[in-house]
Amino acid sequence: MHQVRPPAVAGAFYPGRSQALSHDVLAMLAAAKPDAASSAATPPKALIVPHAGYIYSGSTAAQAYAQLAAVRQTIRRVVLLGPVHRVPVRGLALPGADYFATPLGQIEIDQDAVAAIRPLPQVVVSPAAHAQEHSLEVQLPFLQLALDDFKLLPLAVGDASPAEVAQVLDAVWGGDETLIVISSDLSHFLPYATAQAVDGETVQGMLQLQPALNHQQACGATPVNGLLLAARQHQLQPHLLGRCNSGDTAGDKNRVVGYAALAFTQGESHAQ
């Protein structure tokens, strides 16, 4: 019997019916068509995307996924990391499943990638960590509609060092066929103007590839720091695609959550 991880937040974070879901996601992708100024010249190797409900952060996430149009047939593996919100984990947790399901269908787990990282001591198996976790799930409908045929390596990240995360990414880095997606929101529940200032500094740290974010700056700080470290080692160039907060989209301005979309491309290194 195949083990399928069913959707946990369909109908809450995003539409629960396939027709409404594909309509909404395709509309967000179409509205986010990259303009020449913000889009990277080369397709991204990695993305940082937010993971709130689609009415809050879907338009920002779409700015990242719209970058994939030219490589929708090239990418065959997506390595997806997001923070645990409900079940504490030491290390990076595999789901122990064969498929992840959404209202748009099932995505096969990449068992070759699982086998490549399973021997690492920081990699564990925790179906519980994945069962109710939204940070990974909300990315799946975007991936299903932005890409053609791909397999998934989903990792729910708990207590881990940037080096431990980067080591896992290295093991499945691959070539043009592999995309890395890191799911993270920015600051939580600050007043609008404060959040804008704090998130601006956080994004600057990301653009400078400084793997020193804390969880007040970004709930996905652990996987983000791991990507920033790996991006340095692989000489990736970061690009800011979009930034806003819930006060700009669907929430009040007294307590907002920040969102940003970034792409990391293989570029010329400016380091001496």
Task: Convert the pLDDT of each residue in 100-134 to its tens digit.
Answer: 999 999 999 999 999 999 999 999 999 999 999 99
Domain membership flag for residue 3: no
The reported pLDDT for the residue numbered 42 is 85
Domain membership flag for residue 77: yes
pLDDT band at 33 (very low <50, low <70, confident <90, very high): confident
Residue 10 pLDDT > 50, yes or no? Answer: yes
CB 58 within 8 A of CB 20: no
What confidence tens digit (pLDDT) does each residue in 234-266 have?
Answer: 999 999 999 999 999 998 999 999 999 999 999
The reported pLDDT for the residue numbered 34 is 65
Domain membership flag for residue 9: no
pTM: 0.96
Question: How many CB atoms neighbour CB 4 within 10 A?
Answer: 12
Q: Report angle CA 9, 13, 16 to the nearest 5 degrees.
A: 65
Domain membership flag for residue 43: yes
Domain membership flag for residue 72: yes
Q: pLDDT exceeding 70 applies to what percent of the chain?
A: 95
What confidence tens digit (pLDDT) does each residue in 38-93 have?
Answer: 555 689 999 999 999 999 999 999 999 999 999 999 999 999 999 999 999 999 99
What confidence tens digit (pLDDT) does each residue in 91-102 have?
Answer: 999 999 999 999
Q: Indicate the length of the chain as a whole number.
A: 272
For β-strands 236-245 and 256-266, DSSP reports them as antiparallel
Domain of 30: which CATH number?
3.40.830.10
Q: At a CB cut-off of 8 Å and minimum separation 6, what does 47 contact? A: 64, 65, 67, 179, 180, 181, 182, 261, 262, 263, 264
Domain membership flag for residue 5: no
Domain membership flag for residue 16: no
Residue 98 sits in which domain range?
21-266
Domain membership flag for residue 132: yes
Question: In the chain, how many domains are there?
Answer: 1
Instruction: Encode the chain in three state secondary structure.
Output: CCCEECCCCECCCECCCHHHHHHHHHHHHHHCCCCCCCCCCCCCCEEEECCCCHHHHHHHHHHHHHHHHHHCCCCCEEEEEEECCCCCCECEEECCCCEEEECCEEEEECHHHHHHHCCCCCEEECHHHHHCCHHHHCCHHHHHHHCCCCEEEEEEECECCHHHHHHHHHHCCCCCCEEEEEECCCCEEECHHHHHHHHHHHHHHHHCCCCCCCCCCCCCHHHHHHHHHHHHHCCEEEEEEEEEEHHHHCCCCCCEEEEEEEEEEECCCCCC
What confidence tens digit (pLDDT) does each residue in 194-221 have?
Answer: 999 999 999 999 999 999 999 999 999 9
The reported pLDDT for the residue numbered 270 is 43
